């Protein structure tokens, strides 16, 4: 598939027209492939693209493939989802089920539920496709989340990649929207319960809540419009936005190049790795099929969303253990953790703090995470481009902030399964809720301090290794009777990884040209001190030389 120099120069030679030439080229040249490549290139000039794109280099590290996983699961979702649209009816018209699943025969349900059951029981391969679609959706958002953590903890969001972080974050939110609209489509009991909670949350917004709810549902909940509307969002608007943003996200990756970890020969101006063609394309293509295979395997053996067990939606029943899919869990958990009685009445209006507070807290959390690259950039005042990924330990405060954020999210997420935690670990549900309320507040602080201490300790260990080598395990007895353990020096390649990282110092407050210190500079100085007060300086060349002499 590679474009050889001969084929790229072919157009120039082809100017002198000769009937036998093409046939000769076919016979003597690279055969059919070469001829086809030539044919395409003469008409599209594609060799330029292939040459440019094919020589793109991607560095090799397992964590750099996480974004690929989410891309591939999205492709699986698109393929399986297209299949499902052939048979799904997004209508809330009432019908009587008369399909193959006997325990539901004769029951009134919406056309949406009926068609989802038909996909599961009467369309060949339908159930497998449904399960592939749903499992791939769970994987898509999970892989996206882990990919985001990789970006955060390695500082891959720093200049010039801040905008791509925002694009990626928007994709994460859109993916959650995709997931939730899909969860609500089959109109089974579980999805209806989920929609009821969303409707309730919307109603809880002061002043405009009830208006928005009636607008969304086209009248009183559940109405007859919501499935159709969610369907439009689910298969048209949201996927279009996701595809567009994924495209943009990838263009950014190509234009800005991929980050790499520090190592000998790796600088801020180069990328060391494999070219897309042929190595990386083959690897990535193979990886796509591995991801597809894992999803199909799971979908074959494990049930997901058994709507036939849940039955059709009816506003009166609510099942115990009604939960959203995992990615909405943090929001459900936030609702569950609100203390009892958080509401007040003012001028005949009830203000439901039990809904307003979670919405506000989650909104703040999301906005802070999204804006983090800009906040950190402002605090460090670093305007340089960064193409070398940080090892998490080398930015202790950032890693600690990340750990605190992950803990906060994880506690909310776990709180969504408080009832199952209570039944499966034989605890009282009140006890579970109260301990989670405490963990939600205290947990992030503990995670912050523990993560920061671990980072600093690891940095100290790195410094020790770079200067004095590693413990070889060889005990030597000196003539005087003293025992020592011999330290072997680390080799140059290893040392490179240990010593090369950015070192920031706390900002010194200095008056500006007008002889004044503006207030925002004071805030910046405080934040900078918080960030860089505790730091381990990288080993300098002099130190290495000094150490090697004794």
187 binds other proteins (CB under 8 A): no
Q: What is the torsional sign of CA 463, 464, 468, 469?
A: negative
Q: What's the min distance (Å) between Cβ of 303 and other proteins?
A: 3
201's tokens: 């949350």
Instruction: Tell me the backbone φ, ψ of residue 438, rounded to 5 degrees.
Output: -65, -45
145-164 positions binding other proteins, by CB under 8 A: 146
355's tokens: 């809904």
Q: What is the Cα–Cα distance from 402 to 154, expressed in whole angstroms? A: 11
Nearest CB to other proteins, comparing residues 100 and 368: 100
469's tokens: 């080598």
Rg over alpha carbons for the chain, rounded to the nearest Å, is: 30
400 binds other proteins (CB under 8 A): no
Alpha-carbon distances of 274 from 58, 172, 200, 260, rounded to whole Å: 6, 28, 52, 12
Nearest CB to other proteins, comparing residues 145 and 444: 145
User: DSSP state, 235?
Assistant: I
Q: What is the Cα–Cα distance from 418 to 425, expressed in whole angstroms? A: 10
x/- letters, 190..229, toward other proteins (CB under 8 A): x---------------------------------------
50-69 positions binding other proteins, by CB under 8 A: 60-66, 69
Q: What is the Cα–Cα distance from 258 to 389, expressed in whole angstroms? A: 9
142 binds other proteins (CB under 8 A): yes
Nearest CB to other proteins, comparing residues 198 and 536: 198
105 binds other proteins (CB under 8 A): yes
427-486 positions binding other proteins, by CB under 8 A: 427-431
Q: What is the Cα–Cα distance from 444 to 405, expressed in whole angstroms? A: 7
Q: What's the min distance (Å) between Cβ of 29 and other proteins?
A: 34
Q: What's the min distance (Å) between Cβ of 138 and other proteins?
A: 4
Nearest CB to other proteins, comparing residues 138 and 454: 138
Taking CB under 8 A as the binding criterion, the range among 2-10, 413-421, 474-482, 540-548 that sits at the site for other proteins is: 413-421
Helix (H) or strand (E) holding 473: strand 470-477
Q: Which residue of 240, 290, 441, 446 would you call a contact of other proteins, by CB under 8 A?
A: 290
Nearest CB to other proteins, comparing residues 261 and 372: 261
Which positions ≥6 away from 363 have C-beta within 8 Å? none
Q: What is the Cα–Cα distance from 464 to 450, expressed in whole angstroms? A: 21
User: DSSP state, 394?
Assistant: G
300 binds other proteins (CB under 8 A): yes
Taking CB under 8 A as the binding criterion, the range among 120-128, 365-373, 444-452, 503-511 that sits at the site for other proteins is: 120-128
Q: Report the residue count for the chain.
A: 550
Q: What is the Cα–Cα distance from 91 to 88, expressed in whole angstroms? A: 9
Q: What is the Cα–Cα distance from 2 to 512, expressed in whole angstroms? A: 57
Taking CB under 8 A as the binding criterion, the range among 201-209, 372-380, 414-422, 513-521 that sits at the site for other proteins is: 414-422
x/- letters, 233..272, toward other proteins (CB under 8 A): ----------------------------------------
Q: Which residue of 21, 24, 94, 314 would you call a contact of other proteins, by CB under 8 A?
A: 314
419 binds other proteins (CB under 8 A): yes
Taking CB under 8 A as the binding criterion, the range among 41-49, 288-296, 336-344, 488-496 that sits at the site for other proteins is: 288-296
298 binds other proteins (CB under 8 A): yes
What torsion, rounded to 10 degrees, do the Cα atoms 292, 55, 151, 540 define?
140
325 binds other proteins (CB under 8 A): yes
Nearest CB to other proteins, comparing residues 17 and 301: 301
Inter-residue contact 392 to 439 (CB < 8 Å): no
Q: 188 - beta bridge partners? A: 312
Taking CB under 8 A as the binding criterion, the range among 215-223, 316-324, 353-361, 487-495 that sits at the site for other proteins is: 316-324
């Amino acid at each position: 598939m590679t474009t050889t120099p001969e084929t790229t120069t072919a157009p120039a030679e082809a100017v002198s027209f000769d009937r036998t030439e093409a046939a000769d080229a076919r016979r003597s040249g690279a055969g059919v492939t070469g001829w086809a490549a030539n044919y395409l290139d003469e008409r599209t000039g594609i060799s330029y693209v292939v040459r440019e794109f094919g020589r793109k280099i991607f560095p090799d590290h397992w964590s750099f493939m996480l974004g690929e996983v989410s891309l591939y699961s999205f492709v699986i979702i698109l393929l399986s989802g297209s299949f499902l649209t052939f048979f799904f009816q997004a209508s809330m018209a009432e019908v009587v089920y008369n399909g193959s699943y006997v325990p539901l025969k004769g029951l009134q349900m919406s056309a949406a539920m009926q068609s989802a059951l038909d996909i599961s029981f009467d369309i060949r391969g339908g159930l497998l496709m449904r399960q592939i679609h749903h499992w791939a959706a769970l994987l898509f958002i999970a892989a996206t989340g882990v990919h985001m953590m990789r970006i955060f903890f390695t500082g891959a969001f720093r200049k010039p990649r801040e905008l791509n972080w925002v694009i990626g974050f928007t994709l994460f939110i859109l993916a959650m929207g995709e997931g939730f609209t899909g969860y609500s489509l089959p109109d089974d009991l579980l999805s209806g319960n989920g929609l009821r909670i969303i409707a309730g949350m919307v109603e809880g917004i002061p002043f405009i809540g009830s208006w928005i709810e009636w607008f969304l549902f086209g009248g009183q909940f559940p109405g007859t419009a919501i499935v159709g509307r969610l369907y439009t969002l689910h298969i048209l608007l949201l996927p279009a936005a996701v595809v567009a943003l994924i495209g943009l996200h990838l263009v950014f990756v190509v234009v800005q190049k991929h980050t790499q970890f520090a190592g000998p020969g790796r600088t801020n101006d180069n990328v060391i790795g494999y070219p897309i063609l042929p190595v990386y394309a083959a690897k990535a293509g193979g990886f796509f099929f591995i991801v597809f295979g894992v999803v199909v395997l799971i979908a074959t053996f494990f049930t997901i969303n058994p709507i036939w067990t849940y039955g059709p939606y009816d506003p009166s029943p609510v099942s115990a253990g009604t939960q959203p899919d995992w990615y909405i869990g943090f929001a459900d958990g936030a609702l569950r953790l609100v203390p009892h009685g958080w509401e007040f009445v003012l001028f005949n209006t009830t203000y439901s703090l039990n809904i307003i507070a979670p919405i506000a807290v989650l909104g703040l959390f999301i906005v802070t995470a999204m804006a983090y690259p800009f906040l950190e950039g402002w605090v460090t005042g670093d305007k340089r481009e960064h193409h070398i990924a940080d090892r998490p330990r080398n930015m202790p405060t950032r890693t600690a902030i990340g750990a605190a954020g992950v803990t906060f999210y994880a506690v909310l997420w776990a709180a969504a399964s408080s009832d199952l935690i209570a039944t499966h670990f034989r605890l009282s549900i009140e006890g579970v809720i109260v301990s989670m309320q405490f963990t939600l507040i205290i947990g992030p602080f503990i995670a912050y301090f523990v993560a920061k201490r671990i980072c600093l300790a690891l940095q100290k260990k790195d410094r020790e290794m770079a200067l004095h080598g590693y413990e070889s395990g060889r005990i030597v007895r000196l003539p005087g009777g003293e025992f020592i353990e011999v330290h072997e020096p680390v080799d140059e390649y290893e040392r490179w990884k240990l010593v090369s990282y950015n070192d920031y110092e706390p900002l010194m407050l200095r008056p500006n040209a007008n002889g004044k210190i503006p207030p925002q500079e004071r805030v910046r100085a405080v934040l900078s001190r918080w960030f860089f007060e505790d730091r381990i300086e990288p080993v300098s060349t002099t130190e290495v030389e000094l150490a090697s002499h004794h």
